[in-house]
Amino acid sequence: MTAHISDIAKKYRRALRNETGTKFTLAELRAMVDIGWLELAAKAEAEEIRKTWEKIPHLASSETIGSTSAGTADLPTSGRLPDMTAEQGRMFIAALGAKH
């Protein structure tokens, strides 16, 4: 495992220095898991997601979003989707799939 850690360090240092990406072997990935990298990555990911969700305004689940009539709902047809909560996202997807 020690040899793998050295290889991992060399790879990520070179990638950072050259501003490129890198690939890891299965053995290197397993070594990363053994040293706790997976837990560290999961914590960092959760923190990143939490910060993103803090920026999104939340509506109470009882609030109406958009039109109350599916036939007249003004849904975007292209471009970037608006920021929304998970509940709003489910409602948006359901509205897109509704047969008019």
Report if pTM > 0.85: no
SS3 per-residue string spanning 56-75: CCCCCCCCCCCCCCHHHCCC
The domain ranges of the chain are 1-55, 60-100
Contact 75, 95 (CB under 8 A): yes
Contact 32, 39 (CB under 8 A): no
> C-alpha distances in angstroms, 64 versus 48, 60, 74?
29, 9, 14
42, 49 contact by CB (below 8 A): no
Q: Which tens digits make up the pLDDT trace of 17-74?
A: 999 999 999 999 899 999 898 889 889 999 998 888 777 766 555 555 565 665 555 5
